[in-house]
């Protein structure tokens, strides 16, 4: 211990002890094996101990000595093999702040559990055992029968806090949501941001409240029957507030290139401590915050040539942390690599589901008629929706003109709920000139019809915050950076959106919202008065989700238990097969009125002795629709109203004849 450090330690009443671990590490390739007593929850970081005090451990191979700067004390840590330093400090308490003093400066903890002043400030000591959970009976999530709701804590409510969001959970549960997907919360610099440039993997941002406010959000969700999963970013770290290279340059790869910054080092020299950190982070959120799973951002940019891919290890650790509770793991993957969601025993990574961008792109083209930029390879045709319902992704290895390459991998063997379907998400709303919601760029009747196909289709549907009540507020890209970085981000954003010819002109580009402005962030906040102003569309979402939950077919049919057919240039039918003449039809017509006479399509034929009756219609006047005429009759055969979706159920012909 440095002399000055010893004097400060004595003044503060602190005492340094030997590490809790075994003697210095014998196997530098497997640093986690050094731990002999699992009084630690994580391999690194500062952890309050049951009998008091805190144990500190950090990987800092670039330094010859490391000390903890705890409040007014400097306490030198003991060196372990493999570049680790550790030590126990009695008198350390929750709420205290600290930094690590390295050879070349003092920096926050890479595994800090809280950053009270943000990423550039000191780290804080947290005792996760202080929160009193009430969810002991909660069993977690399975892949089946879920409805996801994506939200951003900072804009979901006017207050932008965990506490305010908690007050809205009962409304979401009553709507029919089963899973809340929270956009990233790892702390980042500035006053606002999406969270995808986080730099403190273990520290929920101070912008939304304290760690226990996050825990209270999860605890309340579980009490209401809602699961909570967290969007995590394991493909890069943000550029501002990123101190990892101060501890070791080996956090980042020299072999791989990421689109958004330095690629993380999961397979190169000294990569095992890096792998260990990220794998531990996946378990941390489930262990200390009782989360029910993770949404893994942009997994195509997670590079790893190891024998076991880090994503498979992350998934396994997450499930271990659940301790028997069901854990739900969803991947975003632009290349649509089905390996992610195949079981480990079949050579996959063992995740549960993958975002289906193809469904979104087809839906947007069908609703708007525009197929520029990355919508180029979609027609929005009935066959695309049938193929998506039956087989998941539309591109499973075919040529994709926009990228001038093949897109996707075969996934014909997977189940419908392996795919998350949506017609809005944070990216797709913001990837436009005005940040407009889909209801603002298509007709109300087309939107109602497409929403029915989304919420009653066989995939796992996801809504983006405010979609259920046609939010009048836009959703922009926003990020509060230093002036130099903010200017670079704004340029990069404009360059990305320039792939859309409609936005590429100087006149349009000049109208793009500045991501750094407080006003851009503020305008993206939901206005819950829209629930009343747009009560008709809100009611429709509620009714559809109740139908999905109560009906034996919708959202529950395995592959092979339904089929589909094209009925015309803009119309299709999906038929779900029952065992007792109780089939269901979803008939969707996205364009003008259509008269099918004749109607030589077997999927339209009712079960023997039955006729079809309308169970639900998107043109119900309660939803703002214009009413639904008779769909099938002996006199007129089939009449498909314009821009309408109907659900049909069979009734005995005799009952129909006497009606």
Q: Which residues are catalytic?
A: 297, 332
Question: Which of 356, 345, 333, 349 lies closest to 418 in space, CA to CA?
Answer: 356
Question: Which of 128, 130, 52, 60 lies closest to 99 in space, CA to CA?
Answer: 60
Question: Which residue stretches of 524-635 are H helix?
Answer: 530-533, 535-550
Tokens describing residue 539: 């009611």
Tokens describing residue 260: 């958004």
Is the Cβ–Cβ distance between 58 and 44 less than 8 Å?
A: yes
Distance of alpha carbon 6 from the chain centroid: 47
Question: Collapsing DSSP states into helix, strand and coil, what is residue 22?
Answer: coil
Is the Cβ–Cβ distance between 617 and 628 less than 8 Å?
A: yes
CA 424, 425, 426, 430: dihedral to nearest 10 degrees? -30
Query: Burial code of 410-433, b = ≥16 C-beta within 10 A, e = fewer?
Result: ebeebbbbbbbbbbbbbbbbbbbe
Q: Cβ-count burial of 159 within 10 angstroms (0-12 exposed, 13-18 middle, 19+ buried)?
A: middle
Question: Which residue stretches of 13-121 are H helix?
Answer: none
Is the Cβ–Cβ distance between 182 and 230 less than 8 Å?
A: yes
d(CA 63, CA 77): 12
d(CA 469, CA 166): 19
Question: Which of 587, 584, 601, 599 lies closest to 650 in space, CA to CA?
Answer: 584
d(CA 649, CA 34): 63
Query: Which residue do the tokens 């339209």 mark?
Result: 604
Tokens describing residue 450: 């497409």
DSSP states of 190-256 as a string? SS-B-STT--EEEEE-GGG--HHHHHHHHHHHHHTT-EEEEEE--S---SSS--HHHH-GGGEEEEE
Residue 629: HSE in the Cβ half-sphere, 13 Å Cα cutoff:
13
CA 175, 179, 181, 186: dihedral to nearest 10 degrees? 130
Query: Which residue do the tokens 């996959």 mark?
Result: 348
């Amino acid at each position: 211990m440095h002399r000055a450090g010893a004097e400060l330690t004595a003044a503060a009443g602190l005492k340094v002890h030997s590490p809790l671990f075994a003697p210095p590490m014998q196997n530098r390739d497997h640093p986690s094996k050094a731990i002999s007593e699992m009084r630690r929850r994580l391999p690194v970081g500062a952890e309050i101990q049951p009998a008091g005090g805190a144990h500190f451990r950090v990987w800092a191979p670039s330094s010859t000595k490391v000390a903890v700067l705890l409040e007014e004390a400097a306490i030198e840590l003991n060196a372990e093999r493999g570049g680790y330093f550790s030590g126990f400090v009695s008198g350390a308490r929750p709420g205290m702040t600290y930094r690590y003093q390295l050879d070349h400066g003092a920096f926050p903890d890479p595994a800090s559990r809280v950053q009270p002043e943000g990423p550039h400030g000191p780290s804080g000591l947290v005792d996760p055992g202080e929160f009193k959970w009430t969810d002991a009976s909660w069993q977690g999530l399975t892949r089946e029968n879920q409805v996801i709701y994506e939200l951003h804590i900072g804009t979901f409510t006017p207050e932008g806090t965990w506490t305010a969001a908690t007050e809205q959970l009962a409304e979401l549960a009553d709507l029919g949501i089963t899973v809340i997907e929270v956009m990233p919360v790892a702390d980042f610099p500035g006053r606002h941001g999406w969270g995808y440039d986080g730099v403190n993997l273990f520290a929920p941002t101070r912008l939304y409240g304290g760690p226990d406010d996050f825990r209270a959000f999860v605890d309340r969700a579980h009490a209401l029957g809602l699961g909570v999963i967290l969007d995590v970013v394991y493909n890069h770290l943000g550029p501002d507030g990123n101190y990892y290279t101060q501890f070791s340059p080996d956090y980042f790869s020299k072999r791989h290139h990421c689109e958004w910054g330095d690629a993380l080092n999961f397979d190169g020299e000294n990569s095992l401590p890096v792998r260990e950190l990220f794998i531990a982070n996946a378990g941390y959120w489930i262990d200390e915050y009782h989360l029910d799973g993770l949404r893994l951002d942009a997994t195509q940019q997670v590079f790893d040539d190891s024998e076991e891919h880090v994503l498979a290890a992350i998934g396994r650790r997450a499930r271990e942390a659940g301790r028997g509770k069901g854990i739900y793991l969803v991947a975003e993957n632009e290349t649509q690599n089905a390996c992610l969601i195949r079981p480990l025993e079949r050579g996959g990574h063992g995740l549960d589901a993958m975002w289906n961008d193809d469904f979104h792109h087809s839906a947007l083209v069908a609703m708007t008629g525009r197929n520029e930029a990355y919508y180029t390879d979609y027609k929005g045709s009935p066959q695309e929706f049938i193929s998506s319902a039956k087989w998941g992704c539309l591109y499973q290895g075919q040529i994709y003109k926009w990228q001038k390459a093949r897109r996707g991998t075969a996934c014909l063997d997977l189940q419908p709920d392996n795919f998350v379907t949506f017609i809005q998400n944070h990216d797709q709303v913001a990837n436009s000139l005005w940040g407009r919601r889909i209801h603002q760029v298509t007709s109300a009747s087309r939107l109602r019809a497409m929403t029915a196909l989304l919420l009653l289709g066989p995939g796992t549907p996801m809504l983006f915050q405010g979609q259920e009540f046609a939010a009048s507020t836009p959703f922009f890209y926003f990020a509060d950076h230093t002036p130099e970085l903010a200017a670079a981000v704004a340029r990069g954003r404009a360059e990305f959106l320039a792939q859309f010819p409609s936005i590429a002109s100087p006149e349009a580009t000049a109208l793009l919202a500045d991501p750094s402005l407080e006003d851009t962030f503020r305008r993206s906040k939901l206005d819950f008065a829209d629930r009343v102003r747009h009560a008709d569309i809100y009611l429709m979402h509620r009714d559809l989700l109740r139908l999905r939950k109560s009906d034996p077919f919708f959202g529950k049919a395995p592959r092979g238990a339904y089929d589909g057919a094209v009925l015309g240039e803009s119309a299709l039918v999906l038929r779900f097969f029952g065992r007792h003449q109780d089939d269901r039809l979803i008939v969707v017509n996205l364009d003008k009125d259509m008269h099918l006479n004749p109607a030589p399509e077997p999927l339209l034929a009712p079960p023997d002795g039955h006729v079809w009756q309308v169970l639900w219609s998107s043109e119900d006047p309660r939803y703002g629709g214009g009413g639904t005429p008779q769909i099938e009759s002996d006199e007129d055969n089939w009449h498909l109203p314009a821009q309408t979706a109907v659900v049909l159920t069979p009734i005995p012909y005799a009952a129909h004849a006497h009606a």
